[in-house]
Amino acid sequence: MVKPRPGEKLKKFQNLFNKSDRVLIAINADPDAIASAQAVKRLLWRKVCDVTISNVNTIKRPDNIAMIRLLHIKMAPIEEIYFDHYTRFVIVDSQPGHSPHFSKFTADAVIDHHPKTEFTSAFSDIRPEYGATASILIEYLRSAKIKPSRRLATGLSYAIKTDTANFQRKTTMEDVTAFQFAFRHANTHLANKIEQADLRLDFLKYFRYAIENVHIRRKRAYIHLGNVSSPDICVLVADFFMRVQSIQWSVVSGIYSEQLVVVLRNDGARKSAGKTAEQSFGRMGSAGGHKSMARAEIPVGNLPGDLSLSDVKQLSAWIISKIEQTQKAPKTSFKKDILGIS
């Protein structure tokens, strides 16, 4: 199968719109989604009547907040959107089944780098082999002969660095080429300020709890944090434990907004985190991801009736059993052997 040229994809995308269109770009906001949405907005400049970017999630991660503030990005929470105002809808860095919020409208275009799910739209560009959606949008910008502004280039280069973990996760030559292009036009001072905004003071208590309550089984770190003030905390803790020597998987969960959020990370050398999440939790909620990183969100009403949300040990044991049943890993006793914990 011949791969479509970026210019052909761009032309098909832009042909969806006309001057009178009011476009809503819906995202689950993270650096890749935010920067990619900004790139779509730039591509549609002067080609449509109006473009609004809307986030379906609550934004609490310090780097995301810093990125929005320093790059002067305007977004509206999905709860504030009047859908009848818009004539076209675009989903970027996600797909319709990834969030119940996306079911509130019919997507005309979907651009993403996550594994393909079942949906229909007038236009789609799904490239799971790419490390970041931003890389796809940079190809569009180059095809349109658009030189990105300093702020847009900064966001796009930071997005690629983030989603590829500084090119340590799945990366293609297209990601490298896209990053080089964006980096040439980026403001490195702004990028550093965004990158250094890692933690909030109130997040530290979760790290302390995780260190004191981690379960290690067969080089896998399992932590259930209980109620969390943001699901991003699960992501930060999961990434933290992947930096510990000998840990090959980290699975961190928490309860947020009547949902059980489970974040999976691995070293990318073994079974797919995305497939594990989908097979373990997909029937109860939304689940999926890449080989080395994945996420599941399960409405608490879909959990087994005999499972107590207030019983941390019981909930932790249930999550571990679901994952290990999927992976057919032999069960061993709980063992706290990390960071000198006895």
Q: What is the pLDDT of residues 42-94, one digit of tens each?
A: 999 999 999 999 999 988 888 899 999 999 999 999 999 999 999 999 999 99
Helices 273-281 and 312-327 cross at an angle (nearest 10°) of 120
pLDDT at 34 over 50: yes
Is residue 56 within 8 Å of residue 101, measured between CB atoms?
yes
pLDDT class of 106 with cuts at 50, 70, 90: very high
- For residue 4, what pLDDT band results from cuts at 50, 70 and 90? low
- What is the structure's pLDDT at 270? 67
3.30.750.80, 3.40.190.10, 3.40.50.970, 3.10.310.30: which CATH number matches 204-327? 3.10.310.30
Give the confidence band of 171 by pLDDT, cuts at 50, 70, 90: confident
Query: Taking the domains of the chain in order of start, what are their residue ranges?
Result: 6-195, 204-327
Instruction: Give the model confidence (pLDDT) of 327-340 as tens digits.
Output: 764 444 334 443 44
Please tell me the CATH code under which domain 6-195 is placed. Answer: 3.90.1640.10
Cβ-contact 193, 68 below 8 angstroms: no
* Residue 6 banded pLDDT, cuts 50, 70, 90: low
Please state, in angstroms and rounded to a whole number, the distance separating the CA atoms of residues 117 and 97: 7
Backbone angles phi, psi at 14, to 5 degrees: -70, -25
Q: Hey, which of 196-200, 318-322, 331-335 has the most confident mean pLDDT?
A: 318-322
- Mean pLDDT (whole number) for 130-136: 96
Q: Check the CA dihedral 206-246-297-317 and report its sign.
A: negative
Residues in the chain: 342
Out of 131-140, 153-162, 224-233, 263-272, which region has the weakest mean confidence (pLDDT)? 263-272
pTM of the model: 0.69
Enumerate residues 6+ apart whose C-beta is below 8 A from 240: 207, 210, 250
pLDDT tens per residue across span 244-294: 988 999 999 999 989 999 999 998 776 788 889 999 999 999 888 878 889
| Confidence tier at 148 by pLDDT (50, 70, 90) | very high
Q: What is the mean pLDDT of residues 300-306?
A: 91
pLDDT, residue 341, reads: 40
Give pLDDT, residue 58: 87
Can you tell me the mean pLDDT for 139-151? 96
The mean per-residue pLDDT over the stretch 35-47 comes to 97
Q: To the nearest whole number, what is the mean pLDDT of the chain?
A: 89
Which tokens belong to 241? Answer: 């434990």
Q: What is the per-residue pLDDT for 128?
A: 92
Instruction: Tell me, yes or no, if the two domains 6-195 and 204-327 fold the same way.
Output: no
With b meaning 16 or more CB within 10 Å and e meaning fewer, what string describes 236-269?
bbbbbbbeeeebebbbbbbbbeebbbbbbbbbbe
Percent of the chain residues past pLDDT 70, beyond the cut: 93
